[in-house]
Amino acid sequence: MDESLQTLRRKIALGTRILASQGCLGDILGHLSARIPGTDEMFMRLLGDEEKGLLYSDVRHVRRLGFDRTVEQVDGYRVPLELPIHGELYKARPEAQVVLHAHPYHCLIATIAGLELRPIYGSYDPLILSRAMQGIPVYPRSVLIDSPELAAEFISAMGDSDCCLMRGHGLTVIGPTVEAVTLLALRLEMLAKITLDATRATGGRALEPLPQADLDAFAFVVKQGLQAAVSKVYEWTWNHYVQRIADTVGLPAEDE
C-alpha cells in the first residue's frame, strides 16, 4: 500500500487511541474515519473478532470501504450501522477529510439537560472560545443515523458547522486532518464538562456568555494572528497526547 495511505491508517488508529484514552470515545462505540484522497472511499476503524476496544486500536483495524453501506463486513470486520454519518458527510462536505462520530459523556449529558455550549470562558482556552462564539448546532433527535435519509436530516441540522451535538446521543466533528478533528473533539468535550460543572455550581441557573467587550477582544486577537499560532498549538498538543499513549497503552501495532 502507498506509504501516505499507510500513514493515514496509522493516524486513525492513533487518533482513536487518544480519543478513547480521554473518554471522548467509549469502550467500543464510536468511529473515526478519513477520506481516501481522490476516491469515493474512506478508511475507518472497524470492530472485529478478538476485539479489545477502541483504546487498543491497531493499524489492522482500520479498513478501506465505500461511502455507502452496501455490505455488513469488510475483511471480517463489522461495518457500523451509523456509517451513513461518515459516507454522507464526505459526499455533502467536500472539505471534510476526516469524520469523527463519538458518544462523549459530557456532551451527552449537556444535550439531555438542554444546555447550550456557549462562550463562557476566554483565556482558559482561546481556541475553543473562538469556536463557541460561532455557536454549536444540535441535532434534536436521538435516533441511530443508519440511513442516507437520516444522515441528510442530520447534515442539514449541522449546517455549515464543523461539529454538531446530537441530543441523547453524542457528537460528530469534521475537519481537514485527524489531528484537527481529534483535538477539536477533546476541547468540545471539555467545554461540555465545564458547562455542566458551572451550571451545577450556580444551582442550575443558565450561564451567561462572556461580556461582549471580551468577545470583541478575542475576535481581534484571532484576526491578528492567533490562527497562525493555532497549527503550532495543535502540533504540540497532538504530540503531547501521542507521547501519553506511547507511555501508557503503547502506540498502535503496524499492519501484519
Shortest Å, Cβ 82 to Zn ion: 5
Q: Site residues for Zn ion, window 216-245 (CB under 5 A)?
A: none
- Per the annotation, the verdict on 41 as an active-site residue is no
d(CA 24, CA 112): 17
Q: Which of these is catalytic: 82, 88, 179, 189? A: 82
For Zn ion, the closer of residues 103 and 118 by Cβ is 103
d(CA 47, CA 67): 17
d(CA 60, CA 4): 16
One character per residue 182-221, x = contact with Zn ion (rule: CB under 5 A): ----------------------------------------
Letter for the amino acid at 38? G
State which residue has the least CB distance to Zn ion. Answer: 82
Shortest Å, Cβ 152 to Zn ion: 16
CA dihedral 86→90→95→98, nearest 10 degrees, is 30
For Zn ion, the closer of residues 82 and 189 by Cβ is 82
For Zn ion, the closer of residues 10 and 61 by Cβ is 61
Shortest Å, Cβ 242 to Zn ion: 26
φ and ψ of 215, to 5 deg = -60, -40
d(CA 166, CA 70): 25
Q: Site residues for Zn ion, window 74-103 (CB under 5 A)?
A: 82
What H or E segment, with its residue span, contains residue 132? helix 126-133
φ and ψ of 6, to 5 deg = -65, -40
For Zn ion, the closer of residues 33 and 130 by Cβ is 33
Shortest Å, Cβ 172 to Zn ion: 8
For Zn ion, the closer of residues 144 and 201 by Cβ is 144
Q: Where are the beta strands (DSSP E) in 27-159?
A: 31-35, 41-45, 62-66, 73-74, 77-78, 98-102, 138-139
Shortest Å, Cβ 31 to Zn ion: 8
One character per residue 15-44, x = contact with Zn ion (rule: CB under 5 A): ------------------------------
Letter for the amino acid at 86? H
Give the interface size with Zn ion as a residue count (CB under 5 A). 1
Strand partners, 65: 42
Which residues have a catalytic role annotated?
82
Interface contacts to Zn ion, rule CB under 5 A: 82
